[in-house]
Chains A and B, each alone.
Chain A
Amino acid sequence: IAGITQAPTSQILAAGRRMTLRCTQDMRHNAMYWYRQDLGLGLRLIHYSNTAGTTGKGEVPDGYSVSRANTDDFPLTLASAVPSQTSVYFCASAIQATGANVLTFGAGSRLTVL
Chain B
Amino acid sequence: QKEVEQNSGPLSVPEGAIASLNCTYSDRGSQSFFWYRQYSGKSPELIMSIYSNGDKEDGRFTAQLNKASQYVSLLIRDSQPSDSATYLCAVSRNTPLVFGKGTRLSVIA
Residue numbers of A with Cβ under 8 A of B are 33, 35, 40-45, 48, 58, 90, 98-100, 102-103, 105-108
- Which of these binds chain A: B14-22, B53-61, B86-94? B86-94
User: Could you say which of A35, A43, A58, A99 contacts B92, with CB atoms under 8 Å apart?
Assistant: A99
Nearest CB in chain A to that of B34: its residue: A102
Q: Is the CB of A41 within 8 A of B101?
A: yes
Least distance between A40 CB and chain B CB atoms (Å)? 7
Interface of B is mostly: loop
Indicate if B31 sits at the interface (CB-CB under 8 A): yes
CA distance A105 to B51 in the complex (A): 21
User: Could you say which of B44, B96, B100 contacts A58, with CB atoms under 8 Å apart?
Assistant: B96
User: Could you say which of B8, B46, B88, B93 contacts A43, with CB atoms under 8 Å apart?
Assistant: B88
What chain A residues lie within 8 Å of B8 (beta carbons)?
40
What chain B residues lie within 8 Å of A44 (beta carbons)?
99
Indicate if B78 sits at the interface (CB-CB under 8 A): no
User: Could you say which of A48, A105, A106, A107 contacts B96, with CB atoms under 8 Å apart?
Assistant: A48
Q: Is the CB of B43 within 8 A of A99?
A: no
What chain A residues lie within 8 Å of B98 (beta carbons)?
45
- With A90-B43, A100-B51 already in contact, the answer to whether A42 and B96 are too (CB < 8 A) is no
CA distance A105 to B32 in the complex (A): 18
What chain A residues lie within 8 Å of B34 (beta carbons)?
102-103
- With A43-B88, A90-B43, A90-B44 already in contact, the answer to whether A103 and B100 are too (CB < 8 A) is no
Known: A45-B98, A99-B32. 4 other contacts (CB 8 A): A33-B97, A42-B88, A45-B96, A103-B34
Closest 5 CB pairs of A and B: A99-B92, A42-B101, A105-B43, A43-B99, A99-B32
